[in-house]
Each structure stands twice: as structure tokens, then as C-alpha cells.
Structure 1
Amino acid sequence: MRPDLCLEYAGRRYGLRGPWVLRGVDLTVAPGRLVRVEGANGTGKSTLLRLLSGIDAPSEGRITGRPRTAYVPERFPPALPFTAVGYLTHLGTVHGLSRTAAARAAGEWLERLGAAAYADTPMARLSKGGSQKAAVAQALLAEPELLVLDEAWTGLDTGARAELERAVAERTAAGGSVVFVDHDPRRLAGLPDATYAVRDGSLVPCDVAGPLPSGPHVTVEAQGPPDGRLPDDVRRAVTSAEETAPGSYRLTVPVPRSDALLRALLAARPPWHVVSVAPRADTPGSGR
């Protein structure tokens, strides 16, 4: 297993005498971890992600345990001299894939993200949404050990947003790490292993998931492998988990976290079988 990625008293400023954007940042990202970064605009979130992705080097401190990393920036430059599939194939070879494997992966990710119809469209002619799909696809081509996402869901349609969340679950289930920033507090709600806020140039740990949402709940009946062990990200999302038979569970989850729970079950390895989803008996309007 790869070593942890560690930032040790890392700081970053632009120019020899520029103001410090970040300073004294200590952060460890272990394999298989999902980490959320929060903070107001201009606080240094993107700078932190650029340090993690290796695009920027720290002005002080150090970073150790560098994994194979892919990055989706907040703004992706679309005016490149390639078609969408040509660009992705080229990036796949840069990431170490053979040209055949890169072309295959490019086609698969364009299909998954709903962009196969404009595979042969020049990058400069893609819409904002199409350009963002290409940005996401290039980061996922070679199954990175660390995936860094800076507002990566912005500009994607509903299907592509769901597919990116599924890809995040797949990466962490396979032992990869994901660090992400997103303006929507509901994004992957309840699933991060750790949440940090960037404040006044420092990185501050937050309560991992916060209180579980109140209000309507649903009950999910799920069948897993014979050992019956619930994935950790499933346990974090639910209010309660009752084992009804070896490997079978009745899970109670707040409605805002139900989609994330279902994705976590389906992305588990081996995947869990979702038997049924129904309103909880005491949920208003459930008819029971």
C-alpha cells in the first residue's frame, strides 16, 4: 500500500515578499480517505489543492508520500488544439497508458459522463459543460491514487454530477484518496472521513459529518457479502443499522443522505444488493 500523503508545516505565498496565503498547514491523507475542504472564497482552498496535486510547491515546510495524482481545476482551459477524444487519449499516454488503452479509457469516460456525442468536437468548440466533462474525464483516465477536485461538479448536468460522485466512491473503494472542494454543502453529505476549513491562512479540522439531518428518513434493506461487514462510509451515512440476517441489514438514513448511501452500497467491492427502499414507518406521510 502506498504511504500517506503528508503536508508538514506547509505554507505558500506568491513572490518572495508576497502575503502568505497558507501557513503552518499540517494534513495527512491516507489511502482510501475522502476529505472535504471548506472555506469562504479567497481563503486559500484552491492554493491548498494545488499543493496537494503537486502543481505548486510549498514556500516553506514539506510534502511527503506523493502518490499518482490527478487534478480537476476550478477553471479548465478549453482552447486546446485537440478534439475531446484526442485530448483525452493524449493525456492518457502522459499518465502512462498505451495509446490503445488511453483511447479505450477516453471513450469509456466520455460515455459515462454523457459526452460521447461530441468526442470528435474540437475542445475550443465545446460548451462550458462539455469542457468540464473533459476536465473530469482526463482526471479519471488512469485510476489515480489521489484525485483532487476543485469545484469539479460546477457546470455538469445532473447525470454527469451523479457519475462523478459514483467515480469518487469507486476511487475510495479501490484504495485511492479523494480531496474535494464544492460550494454545495449537500455534496457527498455524510461520507467524508474528514472535513477541514481554511480560515485566515490556516487549516482547521471540523466535525467530520456534523449532526445527522432531522426530518424524514427512509429504510433501506440491503444484502452484502457473507461476512456481513458494512463499509465504513455506509456506517457514517446512516442513523441506525440492524442486522436482520447474516450479511443482511435494515438501514435507516435521513432522506438528504439516501442517494449517497445507495451510491456507497453499489460502489462497494463486492457491491451490495439493494433489496428495497421505503419511507420509514414513523415518517409523516408514509401511510403507515
Structure 2
Amino acid sequence: MSVRLVGIHHRYPSGTVALRGVDLDVDPAVPTVLRGGNGAGKSTLLRIAAGAQTPTAGAVEDRPAVVGYLPDRFPALLRLPPRRWLDHMARIRGLDPDDAAERADALLTELGWSGDDDEPMAELSRGNAQKIGLAQALACDPDVLILDEPWSGLDDDAADALTGLLAARTGATLVTDHTGTASGLPGARVHRLREGRVATAADPESVPLPTAPPPGALMRIDMACAGDPRPLLERVLPPARVEGAAPGRFTVRVPVPESDAWLAAALAAGCAVRSVRPVRPAADTGRLPMSHGPRRAEGPGR
């Protein structure tokens, strides 16, 4: 089953927008490769895909229970020795520690591990730290494997070994790579990320400019909140077409050009985003009036 990233939008507390409505299917049959410059949003998208970060809007669909994830870097002050860290990660995942250790040992041998088993992770060389990270990501036998720059810091032999491991893998794989190595994996589908948008067209170097939404296009926004949302809807938030409101959550429709500003206002008011989806044209008659107050949900034809 494919892992699907749907309408992923992410804004950091500083106000920086990292991702702008990314849609991406991670096919289990072939590797999915993301390219892009520094600051394009690649690492943010991978953290969201892995479940390590919650997007401002959008959803990750069909993510399996077992995810292998290699971040772009480890915490700077990680003091655990490598084998103890691998054992810790295996126990967090609920794996049998002995089985996980055996798989990790085989992977480290293949990758050419040459580090000191008693040395803190923070003091390992870049290459040996990368090998430990790869071992923890692969040893859990993941249904989806998410790797952020996995060839970075590896010597030639280790890089070749990793390429062989990924080429032989079955299951969904999502990888970022600035070296160009991943593009040569069998059947690899390469997408380019630039300024928070991903191009899925045949030419991965092109990023199509967003087309203007059709007149009257709406976004359906489902929000979580504390308590009764009606005071927020009536007195705090910008006008919206309210589909439904109940303690702890509410759903509105907002014109597409106004959706970013409306989301920003809702987040500033302490709400949390549950989902943001475009309204299918056939599902909207255009007859729901704008209002601040909740009203009964109206379906097609009402």
C-alpha cells in the first residue's frame, strides 16, 4: 500500500513557511527520491512523513506501524554508546532486543563499521555515526523506510553497500539525496522540491506555477479547539461558512485565497488543525452563506 502525503502545509512558529500544499505518493514498488536545494523543505517533509513532526495542515495517509527513519543529524550531545543506543531504539519499537541486535550487527558488518563500541555517539566520526543511524533504521525491518541524505559522510565501500541494500529492498522507500546516487536505484521516481512545493510532472526539474483557483473555490478546514468553539467563530475568527460545531472541534469552508490567513488566525487563537482539504466542485452548490455563527451542516442539493 502506498503512503500518501496529502495537502501537507507547514509553518514554523517564526512564521517561516516550509511546505506549501505538498501532495506525494510513496509507491512501495519503487524508491521515491526527493531532490532540492538547502531550505527547500526536504527534511521537514521527511519528518512529517515519518511521524516525527505534525504538519500545520494536511495528512499522511496509510502510514504503516513500522517506520524506519534516518534523520538528517543526531542530537549533538547524545552520550549513549552505539550498541546501547541501538538497544534503546529497539526496545522503544517493541522489538526483541536480541533479534534486533543480530540484524544490526549484520548491517554494520556490511556497511564496514569501524567505530569504538564504548565511544559516546556524540564523539563518533560522521561516517560511523551515519552507519549506526542506518543500522537502526533498517534493523526494524520497516514497512516504509525514510532516509534523509543516507549517503552523506560514507566512504566509497559503505556507500556501495548501502546502494546494494536499497536496490534489493522491497517496500516503500522515501529518500533525499544531494549526491545523485539514489536516482540510479532501479525504477527510482525523482521529484524536485523547491520553495516548499513538489513537482510530480515528468520533468522533475520543473516546478509548475500554481494556477489560479476557479472562482468560488473553497477549502474545507477541520479544527480542534478547547471547549465550545462558538465564541471563537462569532467574535474572534474571520468570517467562514460553518459546516458544523461541537465541543472540541468545528468545520468551516473558506475561500482558497483566504485560507492561509484564516488558518494563521485560527492557530493564533489556540486551535489545532485536524485536516485541510479542497471542496470538490460537485460537492459545493455555492449556496452556503458566509457567517460567523455555527449552522447546521448542509449536504449536496440542500
- TM-score scaled by length of structure 2: 0.62
Cα deviations by residue, 1:11-48 (Å, 9 ceiling, x for unpaired): 11112x71321111111113232011111111111111
**How far apart are 1:208 and its partner, in Å?**
7.4
Please state if 1:191 is matched with 2:186. Answer: yes
Question: Post-superposition shift, 1:177?
Answer: 1.1
Deviates more, 1:142-151 or 1:104-113: 104-113
Deviations 1:176-214 (Å, cap 9, x if unpaired)? 11111111124442634421111232111153799xxxx
1:180 aligns with 2:175: yes
The one-letter code sitting in structure 1 at the alignment partner of 2:176 is: V
| Aligned match for 2:15, one of 4, 18, 24 | 18
Equivalent residue number for residue 53 of structure 1: 50
5+ residue gaps, structure 2, are: 206-302
RMSD: 2.2
- How much has 1:139 moved relative to structure 2? 0.6
Find the counterpart in structure 1 of residue 257 from structure 2. none
Distance 1:83 1:187, change over 3 A: same
Number of residue pairs matched by the alignment: 204
What is the rounded CA distance, in whole Å, between the counterparts of 2:83 and 2:50 in structure 1?
24
Number of the residue aligned with 1:205: 200
Aligned residue in 2 for 1:33: 30
State the SS of the aligned residue for 1:136: helix
Could you tell me which residue of structure 2 aligns to residue 166 of structure 1?
Answer: 164
CA radius of gyration, larger in = 2
Alignment check: 8 A CA contact 2:175 2:182 kept: no
Q: Show the counterpart of 2:150.
A: 152
CA contact (8 A) 2:151 2:179 kept: no
Change (3 A) 1:194 1:187: closer
Structure 1: any 5+ residue segments left out of the alignment?
Answer: 211-288
Change (3 A) 1:208 1:41: same
1:23 alignment partner, SS class: strand
Instruction: Summarize deviations over 1:121-142 as a string: whole Å, max 9, x none.
Output: 3323321211111111111111
> Does the 8 A contact of 2:18 with 2:44 survive in 1?
yes
Q: What does 1:101-250 correspond to in 2, within 5 Å?
A: 101-115=99-113, 118-172=116-170, 176-189=171-184, 191-207=186-202
When residues 154 and 206 of structure 1 are mapped into structure 2, their CA distance, relative to the original with a 3 A threshold, is farther
Q: Is the 8 A contact 2:183 2:190 kept in 1?
A: no
Q: How many angstroms does 1:77 deviate by?
A: 2.8
Q: Give the superposition deviation at 1:9.
A: 1.2
Three-state SS of the structure 1 residue aligned to 2:169 is helix
Superposition deviation, residue 111 in structure 1: 1.3
Moved more, 85-94 or 152-161: 85-94
In 2, are the aligned partners of 1:110 and 1:119 still within 8 Å (CA)?
no
Name the TM-score, length of structure 1 as normaliser.
Answer: 0.65
Relative to structure 1, the CA distance from residue 24 to residue 107 in structure 2 (aligned partners, 3 Å threshold; closer, same or farther) is same
Counterpart in 2 of 1:64? 61
In structure 1, distance between residues paired with 2:37 and 2:11: 18
Cα deviations by residue, 1:78-128 (Å, 9 ceiling, x for unpaired): 642322112112212222221211221222222121116633433233212
**Using the alignment, how far apart are the partners of 1:47 and 1:80 within structure 2?**
21
